[in-house]
Amino acid sequence: VAQFGFQQVGLRRVEIVVAVENWASRRVAQNAGAHFEGILRNRVRLAGDNVDAAMHSLIPEDLQGGDG
């Protein structure tokens, strides 16, 4: 999906923001080649509560030479 966004849509950055405690989604981001950038406090609202989120990102160079 990221490869399509970079090549066909012209995106320069894809951000993946998930609740800090959502380890399954964080693993998906890491396995996709995304870089962990940090914790965003009170970034996501879940079940009426504000929770911290983990920010991961991809740029086109992250996928070069990989399977994207």
The 10s digit of each residue's pLDDT in 8-67 is 899 999 999 999 999 999 999 999 999 999 999 999 999 999 999 999 999 999 988 654
Predicted local confidence at residue 65, as pLDDT = 60
Coil, strand or helix at 64: coil
Residue 32 lies inside a defined structural domain of this protein: yes
pTM (predicted TM-score): 0.81
Residue 41 lies inside a defined structural domain of this protein: yes
Q: Are 2 and 58 in contact (CB under 8 A)?
A: yes
Q: Are 58 and 30 in contact (CB under 8 A)?
A: no
| pLDDT for 68 beyond 50 | no
- Domains identified in the chain, total number: 1
CATH number at residue 42: 3.40.630.30
Beta bridge partners of 53: 19, 40
Predicted local confidence at residue 34, as pLDDT = 95
Residue 68 lies inside a defined structural domain of this protein: no
Residue 17 lies inside a defined structural domain of this protein: yes
Beta bridge partners of 55: 17, 38
Residue 19 lies inside a defined structural domain of this protein: yes
